[in-house]
Amino acid sequence: MVIEDLTRGKLNDLKLKANKARILTLEMLFEAGSGHTAGSLGMADIFTAFYFHILKHDPKNPEWNERDRLILSNGHICPIRYTAMAMSGYFNEEELKTLRKLNSRLQGHPHRTSLPGLETTSGPLGEGLSQGIGIALAAKLDGKDYQTYVLTSDGEHEEGNTWEAAMFTGKNKLNNLTQIIDRNNIQIDGKTEDVMPLEPLKDKYLSFGWEVFEVNGNDITAFVDILKQSGNVSDKPVCIIARTTPGKGVSFMENDYNWHGKPPNKEELEKALQELKSLEENLKQN
Protein backbone atom coordinates (compact mmCIF):
# COMPACT_ATOMS: atom_id res chain seq x y z
CA MET A 1 0.00 0.00 0.00
CA VAL A 2 1.63 3.24 -1.18
CA ILE A 3 -0.19 6.46 -0.27
CA GLU A 4 1.30 9.81 -1.22
CA ASP A 5 1.77 12.63 1.27
CA LEU A 6 -0.81 15.41 1.21
CA THR A 7 0.40 18.79 0.02
CA ARG A 8 -1.39 21.90 1.25
CA GLY A 9 -2.92 22.41 -2.18
CA LYS A 10 -4.10 18.80 -2.46
CA LEU A 11 -5.63 18.93 1.02
CA ASN A 12 -7.62 22.07 0.22
CA ASP A 13 -8.78 20.47 -3.02
CA LEU A 14 -9.98 17.41 -1.10
CA LYS A 15 -11.82 19.61 1.39
CA LEU A 16 -13.57 21.40 -1.48
CA LYS A 17 -14.48 18.07 -3.05
CA ALA A 18 -15.87 16.75 0.25
CA ASN A 19 -17.97 19.88 0.59
CA LYS A 20 -19.25 19.50 -2.98
CA ALA A 21 -20.01 15.85 -2.26
CA ARG A 22 -22.20 16.90 0.67
CA ILE A 23 -24.06 19.38 -1.53
CA LEU A 24 -24.67 16.84 -4.31
CA THR A 25 -25.70 14.19 -1.80
CA LEU A 26 -28.28 16.43 -0.15
CA GLU A 27 -29.68 17.43 -3.54
CA MET A 28 -30.02 13.79 -4.62
CA LEU A 29 -31.68 12.80 -1.33
CA PHE A 30 -34.15 15.66 -1.71
CA GLU A 31 -34.86 14.62 -5.30
CA ALA A 32 -35.40 11.00 -4.22
CA GLY A 33 -37.62 11.92 -1.30
CA SER A 34 -36.05 9.15 0.76
CA GLY A 35 -32.67 7.90 1.89
CA HIS A 36 -30.08 8.24 4.63
CA THR A 37 -28.67 11.67 5.35
CA ALA A 38 -26.66 11.65 8.60
CA GLY A 39 -24.25 8.82 7.81
CA SER A 40 -23.76 9.96 4.22
CA LEU A 41 -22.71 13.46 5.28
CA GLY A 42 -20.56 12.09 8.09
CA MET A 43 -18.57 9.87 5.73
CA ALA A 44 -18.04 12.47 2.98
CA ASP A 45 -14.46 13.18 4.03
CA ILE A 46 -13.49 9.50 4.08
CA PHE A 47 -15.07 8.72 0.71
CA THR A 48 -13.41 11.79 -0.79
CA ALA A 49 -10.04 10.71 0.60
CA PHE A 50 -10.50 7.22 -0.85
CA TYR A 51 -11.65 8.11 -4.35
CA PHE A 52 -9.34 11.08 -4.89
CA HIS A 53 -6.19 10.14 -3.00
CA ILE A 54 -5.99 6.64 -1.53
CA LEU A 55 -7.53 4.05 -3.84
CA LYS A 56 -5.69 2.43 -6.70
CA HIS A 57 -8.54 2.47 -9.24
CA ASP A 58 -9.51 3.50 -12.77
CA PRO A 59 -13.02 4.92 -13.34
CA LYS A 60 -12.64 4.28 -17.08
CA ASN A 61 -11.81 0.63 -16.42
CA PRO A 62 -13.85 -0.36 -13.33
CA GLU A 63 -12.94 -4.05 -13.66
CA TRP A 64 -9.18 -3.42 -13.74
CA ASN A 65 -7.75 -6.52 -12.11
CA GLU A 66 -5.09 -4.68 -10.09
CA ARG A 67 -7.51 -2.19 -8.50
CA ASP A 68 -7.98 -1.90 -4.76
CA ARG A 69 -11.33 -3.23 -3.56
CA LEU A 70 -13.64 -0.97 -1.54
CA ILE A 71 -16.52 -2.78 0.19
CA LEU A 72 -19.43 -0.83 1.67
CA SER A 73 -21.10 -2.99 4.30
CA ASN A 74 -23.54 -0.40 5.64
CA GLY A 75 -25.11 0.03 2.24
CA HIS A 76 -27.73 2.53 3.36
CA ILE A 77 -25.12 5.32 3.15
CA CYS A 78 -24.59 4.56 -0.55
CA PRO A 79 -25.64 8.11 -1.58
CA ILE A 80 -22.22 9.41 -0.56
CA ARG A 81 -20.50 6.58 -2.40
CA TYR A 82 -22.52 7.24 -5.55
CA THR A 83 -21.60 10.92 -5.31
CA ALA A 84 -17.88 10.18 -4.93
CA MET A 85 -18.04 7.77 -7.86
CA ALA A 86 -19.79 10.30 -10.08
CA MET A 87 -17.36 13.06 -9.15
CA SER A 88 -14.39 10.81 -9.95
CA GLY A 89 -15.75 9.84 -13.36
CA TYR A 90 -17.56 6.51 -13.09
CA PHE A 91 -20.74 8.09 -14.46
CA ASN A 92 -22.24 11.52 -15.11
CA GLU A 93 -23.23 13.60 -12.09
CA GLU A 94 -26.68 14.17 -13.63
CA GLU A 95 -27.46 10.50 -12.99
CA LEU A 96 -27.35 11.19 -9.25
CA LYS A 97 -30.86 12.64 -9.61
CA THR A 98 -32.17 9.14 -10.38
CA LEU A 99 -31.44 7.80 -6.88
CA ARG A 100 -34.10 5.28 -5.78
CA LYS A 101 -36.18 5.84 -8.91
CA LEU A 102 -37.66 2.99 -10.98
CA ASN A 103 -35.05 1.32 -13.21
CA SER A 104 -32.24 3.49 -11.82
CA ARG A 105 -28.75 2.05 -11.50
CA LEU A 106 -28.52 3.93 -8.19
CA GLN A 107 -30.60 1.74 -5.95
CA GLY A 108 -31.30 2.41 -2.28
CA HIS A 109 -28.59 -0.10 -1.42
CA PRO A 110 -25.67 -0.84 -3.76
CA HIS A 111 -26.36 -3.54 -6.35
CA ARG A 112 -23.15 -4.90 -7.83
CA THR A 113 -24.43 -5.88 -11.26
CA SER A 114 -26.33 -2.63 -11.77
CA LEU A 115 -23.42 -0.22 -11.57
CA PRO A 116 -19.80 -0.79 -12.68
CA GLY A 117 -17.39 0.07 -9.90
CA LEU A 118 -19.33 -1.61 -7.09
CA GLU A 119 -17.62 -4.68 -5.66
CA THR A 120 -20.55 -6.17 -3.73
CA THR A 121 -24.27 -5.97 -3.17
CA SER A 122 -25.22 -4.83 0.31
CA GLY A 123 -28.40 -4.35 2.26
CA PRO A 124 -28.65 -6.71 5.24
CA LEU A 125 -26.21 -5.30 7.76
CA GLY A 126 -23.22 -7.24 9.00
CA GLU A 127 -22.25 -8.99 5.76
CA GLY A 128 -19.53 -6.67 4.44
CA LEU A 129 -16.63 -7.93 6.52
CA SER A 130 -17.30 -11.52 5.44
CA GLN A 131 -17.46 -10.38 1.81
CA GLY A 132 -14.15 -8.58 2.27
CA ILE A 133 -12.61 -11.73 3.73
CA GLY A 134 -13.46 -13.65 0.57
CA ILE A 135 -11.92 -10.97 -1.62
CA ALA A 136 -8.78 -10.67 0.53
CA LEU A 137 -8.31 -14.46 0.57
CA ALA A 138 -8.72 -14.55 -3.22
CA ALA A 139 -5.98 -11.94 -3.58
CA LYS A 140 -3.61 -14.10 -1.57
CA LEU A 141 -4.47 -17.23 -3.56
CA ASP A 142 -3.97 -15.34 -6.84
CA GLY A 143 -0.75 -13.69 -5.72
CA LYS A 144 -2.21 -10.19 -6.10
CA ASP A 145 -1.11 -7.22 -4.02
CA TYR A 146 -4.24 -5.08 -4.14
CA GLN A 147 -5.69 -3.91 -0.84
CA THR A 148 -9.20 -4.72 0.37
CA TYR A 149 -10.89 -1.97 2.36
CA VAL A 150 -14.15 -2.71 4.18
CA LEU A 151 -16.30 0.16 5.44
CA THR A 152 -18.64 -0.84 8.26
CA SER A 153 -20.93 0.98 10.67
CA ASP A 154 -20.83 0.88 14.43
CA GLY A 155 -24.53 -0.05 14.60
CA GLU A 156 -24.04 -3.20 12.53
CA HIS A 157 -21.61 -4.43 15.16
CA GLU A 158 -24.74 -5.55 16.97
CA GLU A 159 -24.90 -8.29 14.30
CA GLY A 160 -23.31 -11.55 15.38
CA ASN A 161 -21.90 -12.38 11.95
CA THR A 162 -19.68 -9.29 12.16
CA TRP A 163 -17.90 -10.80 15.15
CA GLU A 164 -17.57 -14.22 13.48
CA ALA A 165 -15.87 -12.45 10.58
CA ALA A 166 -13.67 -10.45 12.95
CA MET A 167 -12.46 -13.64 14.64
CA PHE A 168 -11.80 -15.36 11.30
CA THR A 169 -9.85 -12.39 9.94
CA GLY A 170 -7.63 -12.19 13.01
CA LYS A 171 -7.05 -15.93 13.16
CA ASN A 172 -5.99 -16.02 9.50
CA LYS A 173 -3.83 -12.87 9.78
CA LEU A 174 -5.29 -11.24 6.67
CA ASN A 175 -2.79 -8.42 6.44
CA ASN A 176 -4.21 -7.26 3.09
CA LEU A 177 -7.55 -6.28 4.66
CA THR A 178 -8.30 -2.98 6.36
CA GLN A 179 -11.62 -2.30 8.05
CA ILE A 180 -12.80 1.25 8.67
CA ILE A 181 -15.59 1.50 11.25
CA ASP A 182 -17.81 4.57 10.99
CA ARG A 183 -18.04 5.29 14.72
CA ASN A 184 -20.72 7.99 14.62
CA ASN A 185 -22.51 6.68 17.74
CA ILE A 186 -26.02 6.73 16.24
CA GLN A 187 -28.44 4.28 14.70
CA ILE A 188 -32.06 4.50 13.65
CA ASP A 189 -33.48 4.17 17.18
CA GLY A 190 -31.02 6.42 19.03
CA LYS A 191 -27.48 6.34 20.41
CA THR A 192 -25.58 3.07 19.99
CA GLU A 193 -24.51 3.08 23.62
CA ASP A 194 -28.16 3.27 24.68
CA VAL A 195 -29.45 0.67 22.22
CA MET A 196 -26.61 -1.87 22.56
CA PRO A 197 -23.31 -0.67 24.04
CA LEU A 198 -20.24 -1.42 21.93
CA GLU A 199 -17.45 -0.15 24.13
CA PRO A 200 -14.69 -1.04 24.67
CA LEU A 201 -14.68 -1.46 20.88
CA LYS A 202 -10.93 -1.10 20.42
CA ASP A 203 -10.15 -3.73 23.07
CA LYS A 204 -12.50 -6.22 21.44
CA TYR A 205 -10.67 -6.02 18.12
CA LEU A 206 -7.29 -6.19 19.82
CA SER A 207 -8.39 -9.39 21.56
CA PHE A 208 -9.25 -10.91 18.15
CA GLY A 209 -5.75 -10.31 16.80
CA TRP A 210 -6.22 -7.05 14.88
CA GLU A 211 -4.02 -3.97 14.86
CA VAL A 212 -6.29 -1.08 15.86
CA PHE A 213 -6.02 2.65 15.24
CA GLU A 214 -8.41 5.44 16.19
CA VAL A 215 -8.83 8.67 14.26
CA ASN A 216 -11.08 11.65 13.64
CA GLY A 217 -12.82 10.53 10.45
CA ASN A 218 -13.70 14.08 9.49
CA ASP A 219 -10.05 15.17 9.49
CA ILE A 220 -8.75 14.21 6.04
CA THR A 221 -5.11 14.75 6.95
CA ALA A 222 -5.38 12.60 10.07
CA PHE A 223 -7.23 9.85 8.19
CA VAL A 224 -4.66 9.71 5.39
CA ASP A 225 -1.81 9.70 7.92
CA ILE A 226 -3.36 6.80 9.83
CA LEU A 227 -3.75 4.77 6.64
CA LYS A 228 -0.11 5.45 5.77
CA GLN A 229 0.90 4.38 9.28
CA SER A 230 -1.20 1.23 9.04
CA GLY A 231 0.75 0.25 5.94
CA ASN A 232 3.62 -0.68 8.25
CA VAL A 233 1.54 -3.49 9.77
CA SER A 234 2.59 -6.70 8.05
CA ASP A 235 1.38 -9.57 10.21
CA LYS A 236 -2.30 -8.93 10.96
CA PRO A 237 -5.45 -7.19 9.69
CA VAL A 238 -6.01 -3.52 10.47
CA CYS A 239 -9.07 -1.93 12.04
CA ILE A 240 -9.43 1.85 11.96
CA ILE A 241 -12.10 3.25 14.27
CA ALA A 242 -13.04 6.51 12.56
CA ARG A 243 -14.97 8.81 14.85
CA THR A 244 -17.26 10.86 12.63
CA THR A 245 -19.99 13.42 13.17
CA PRO A 246 -23.29 12.28 11.66
CA GLY A 247 -24.75 15.06 9.53
CA LYS A 248 -21.32 16.72 9.34
CA GLY A 249 -21.34 20.17 7.76
CA VAL A 250 -24.97 21.01 8.48
CA SER A 251 -25.42 22.40 11.98
CA PHE A 252 -29.04 21.34 12.53
CA MET A 253 -28.34 17.78 11.36
CA GLU A 254 -25.14 17.09 13.28
CA ASN A 255 -25.32 14.40 16.00
CA ASP A 256 -29.11 14.07 15.62
CA TYR A 257 -30.09 10.43 15.15
CA ASN A 258 -33.43 11.53 13.69
CA TRP A 259 -31.52 12.30 10.47
CA HIS A 260 -30.27 8.72 10.24
CA GLY A 261 -32.85 7.69 7.69
CA LYS A 262 -34.70 10.73 6.36
CA PRO A 263 -34.03 13.22 3.54
CA PRO A 264 -34.37 17.00 3.78
CA ASN A 265 -37.50 18.80 2.64
CA LYS A 266 -37.21 21.90 0.43
CA GLU A 267 -36.81 24.36 3.30
CA GLU A 268 -34.27 22.14 5.08
CA LEU A 269 -32.33 21.64 1.84
CA GLU A 270 -32.08 25.37 1.20
CA LYS A 271 -30.94 26.01 4.76
CA ALA A 272 -28.33 23.23 4.56
CA LEU A 273 -27.02 24.36 1.17
CA GLN A 274 -26.61 27.89 2.48
CA GLU A 275 -24.27 26.60 5.20
CA LEU A 276 -22.28 24.41 2.85
CA LYS A 277 -21.91 27.08 0.16
CA SER A 278 -20.69 29.50 2.79
CA LEU A 279 -18.06 26.96 3.81
CA GLU A 280 -17.13 26.51 0.14
CA GLU A 281 -16.41 30.22 -0.20
CA ASN A 282 -14.20 30.13 2.88
CA LEU A 283 -12.24 27.17 1.50
CA LYS A 284 -11.72 28.88 -1.84
CA GLN A 285 -10.12 31.83 -0.09
CA ASN A 286 -7.43 29.61 1.47
For residue range 194-233, list pLDDT tens digits in order.
999 999 999 999 999 999 999 999 999 999 999 999 999 9
Per-residue pLDDT of the chain (286 residues; tens, 9 = 90+): 778 899 999 999 999 999 999 999 999 999 999 999 999 999 999 999 999 999 999 999 999 999 999 999 999 999 999 999 999 999 999 999 999 999 999 999 999 999 999 999 998 899 999 999 999 999 999 999 999 999 999 999 999 999 999 999 999 999 999 999 999 999 999 999 999 999 999 999 999 999 999 999 999 999 999 999 999 999 999 999 999 999 999 999 999 999 999 999 999 999 999 999 999 999 998 7
* Residue ranges per structural domain of the chain: 8-284
For residue range 246-267, list pLDDT tens digits in order.
999 999 999 999 999 999 999 9
pLDDT at 286: 74
User: For the CA atoms of 228, 231, 233, 234, what is the dihedral angle to 10 degrees?
Assistant: -170
Among the listed residues 37, 67, 5, 3, the one whose alpha carbon sits nearest the alpha carbon of residue 245? 37
The Cβ of residue 64 has, within 10 Å, a number of other Cβ atoms equal to 13
CA–CA dist 128, 140 (Å, integer): 19
| Domain 8-284 listed as CATH 3.80.10.10 | no
